Amino acid sequence: MAGCSNNSRCASTSSGPYDSLTWSAVPRIGAGLSNLGNTCFLNAVLQCLTYTPPLAGYLESGQHRVTCKLLSAGFCAMCALQEHVRQALGSLGGVISPLNLVKNLRCISKSFRMWQQEDAHEYMRYLIEALHNCCLPEGTVANSTSAQDRSLVHKIFGGRLRSQVKCTICSTCSNTYDPFLDLSLEIVRADSLSKALVRFTAVEALQGDNKYHCSNCQKKVRALKQFTIDKSPNILTIQFKRFSGSGSSGGKIDKKVEFGRTLDMKPYVSNPQDGDAKYSLYAVLVHAGWSTHSGHYYCFVRTDGDTWHALDDSRVKPVSERSVLDQKAYILFYMRDSASRGSTGAQQSTLLSLFPACKQLLSDGAGETTDDVDTLTDECGDVGSQARKEGGYHVSHRYTRGELGEEPWDVIDSGQMRRKPICCSHLRAVGDSYEFVTCSS
C-alpha cells in the first residue's frame, strides 16, 4: 500500500482553478462499482460524490493532478477520486473496481478496518476532510479561516452556522459562527425534512441549572438559544440521525422521513445578505438494515435531463423520481439553484429590503430615475429630514455600516443593476457610514 500523508501540498496557491466550476448536472450515467468485501458503504458514497456536479466537473478537468505535489510521495485522496471519476463516467454500462480507494482506506481514517462494514456518513466526512487537506496551498493550517476561504471543498460543500444566545433581561445577543460541511438532523420527533429543520432551528430556553451567564448583566440569567444558517452552501448535504450512539449497537430509526425534489432553506437562514437559498435534489443515499456496521448501502443519483438511476454496487438501472422520493433516506444531497448562487442577486435583494425606493431605481430599466429629491427622501423612509445636494449627488439618507452588515458595499451602481447607465443610483462609503445617493446631473 502506498504511504499515507496528511500534509497539504497538493494545490496551487491561487484559487483561480476553482473560479470556473461546472454546476450543471452530470450529463450521463457511468459504471457500477464492484463490492470488494463489505465495501457497499464506500461504493454508495463514491457514487454520490461522482454525480456532485461541481466536484465531478473539476475532477474530470484533470486540473488537480497537474498541480499535485503529494502523489509521488504517497496517497492523495483528490488524485485517487479524480482517477475514479474519470473511469466511472467513462465506462457507460460497465463495472469498475474502486480498489485504490479501498486499499488506502486507513489513509482516510485510522479507525477504519479493511473488509469491515463502516458507517457511510462517517466515511463521507473523513473522505471530504481528506479532499480538503489535499487542495490547500503549502503551509496552510487545515482548520483555519484562510483554509476555508481558499479550499475547493469549502467552496462546494461549505456553509456557516450561527448560534445566537439572547438574554431575556437585557436582550443582549451573543453570536457564535461555525463552518459546516453537512447538517445532521434529529428525526425522533420529525417525520419530514421540513419538520426536522424547524426543530433544528427552534428556539431553546436556557434556564434552571442551564442558565446563561450574561456579560452585560454580570449574572446567570434565563436566555434563549437558536441555531440558524448564516451562510448557505452550494452543495447541501443532510444526514438523518437514524442510529443511536456509534451505531454499532442499539436500534435504528427506520421510519420514512418525507423529503422533496426541491428545498427552500430561506426560512432557516438568518443572514439577509445570503439571498435566496433554493435547492434541487440530485442524490439520495439509503441504508437497509439495523446497524451502521451491518445491512447494506446503496444510492440514487440524478443526471442531466432529470433522469434518475439506482446504483447498488455493480447494478445500475433507471428508476422513476417517485421511487426515489419514497425511499427511507439516510443522506440527502441538494444542489443550490443557479439563481441563488450569485452575489449580485443577494445584494439587490438586501437593497430592496432596506430602501423601498430602490424597487424603481434598481429595476431592469423600467422607469427613469427621479430627480425629485423630496419624493426620493420620502420613499426611503427618512421622514422629517431634508435631502441635500453634495458634489453633484442628491444625498437622501445616511446608513451606518452596522445597519447594512459588515460586507464592504463600496458601490452598487447602475452599471451593475440597470441597462440604462445614464444616471447613477448607489451606495457610497463615507467614513464609517454609507450614503444612498442619486446623481443630479
Report domain extents, the chain. 16-159+229-341, 344-439
Instruction: Exactly one of 4, 217, 296, 439 is catalytic; name it.
Output: 296
Structure confidence at residue 256 (pLDDT): 97
- Going by the DSSP 8-state scheme, the letter that residue 363 receives in this structure is S
Structure confidence at residue 250 (pLDDT): 57
Structure confidence at residue 71 (pLDDT): 60
Would residue 296 show up in a list of annotated catalytic residues for this protein? yes
Can you say how many angstroms the Cα of residue 312 is from the centroid of all Cα atoms in its chain? Answer: 27
- Going by the DSSP 8-state scheme, the letter that residue 393 receives in this structure is E
Query: Virtual CA dihedral for 8, 13, 16, 22, nearest 10 degrees?
Result: -10
Structure confidence at residue 342 (pLDDT): 53
Would residue 287 show up in a list of annotated catalytic residues for this protein? no
Structure confidence at residue 389 (pLDDT): 40
CATH of domain 16-159+229-341: 3.90.70.10
Nearest C-alpha neighbor of 381 from the set 352, 410, 406, 401: 352
Long-range contacts of 219-225 (CB under 8 A, 24+ apart): 221/167, 221/168, 221/169, 222/168, 222/169, 223/165, 223/166, 223/167, 223/168, 224/165, 224/166, 224/168, 225/163, 225/164, 225/165, 225/166
Rg (CA), the chain: 25
Measured CA to CA, the distance from residue 361 to residue 358 in angstroms comes to: 5
Measured CA to CA, the distance from residue 57 to residue 64 in angstroms comes to: 11
Measured CA to CA, the distance from residue 199 to residue 186 in angstroms comes to: 8
Instruction: Exactly one of 10, 40, 68, 380 is catalytic; name it.
Output: 40
Low-confidence ranges of the chain (pLDDT < 50): 2, 6-16, 246-248, 343-441
Contact call for residues 243 and 252 (beta carbons, < 8 A): yes
Cell readout for 283 is 442524490
pTM of the entire predicted model? 0.74
- Judged on CB neighbours under 10 Å (0-12, 13-18, 19+), 201 is middle
CA 130, 135, 141 angle in degrees (round to 5)? 80
Structure confidence at residue 72 (pLDDT): 60
Measured CA to CA, the distance from residue 212 to residue 220 in angstroms comes to: 5
Measured CA to CA in angstroms, residue 146 lies from 31, 140, 150, 237, 315 at distances of 37, 7, 6, 23, 42
Helix (H) or strand (E) holding 122: helix 120-134
Contact call for residues 396 and 382 (beta carbons, < 8 A): yes
- Residue 118 dihedral angles phi and psi, to the nearest 5°: -120, 170
Structure confidence at residue 127 (pLDDT): 98
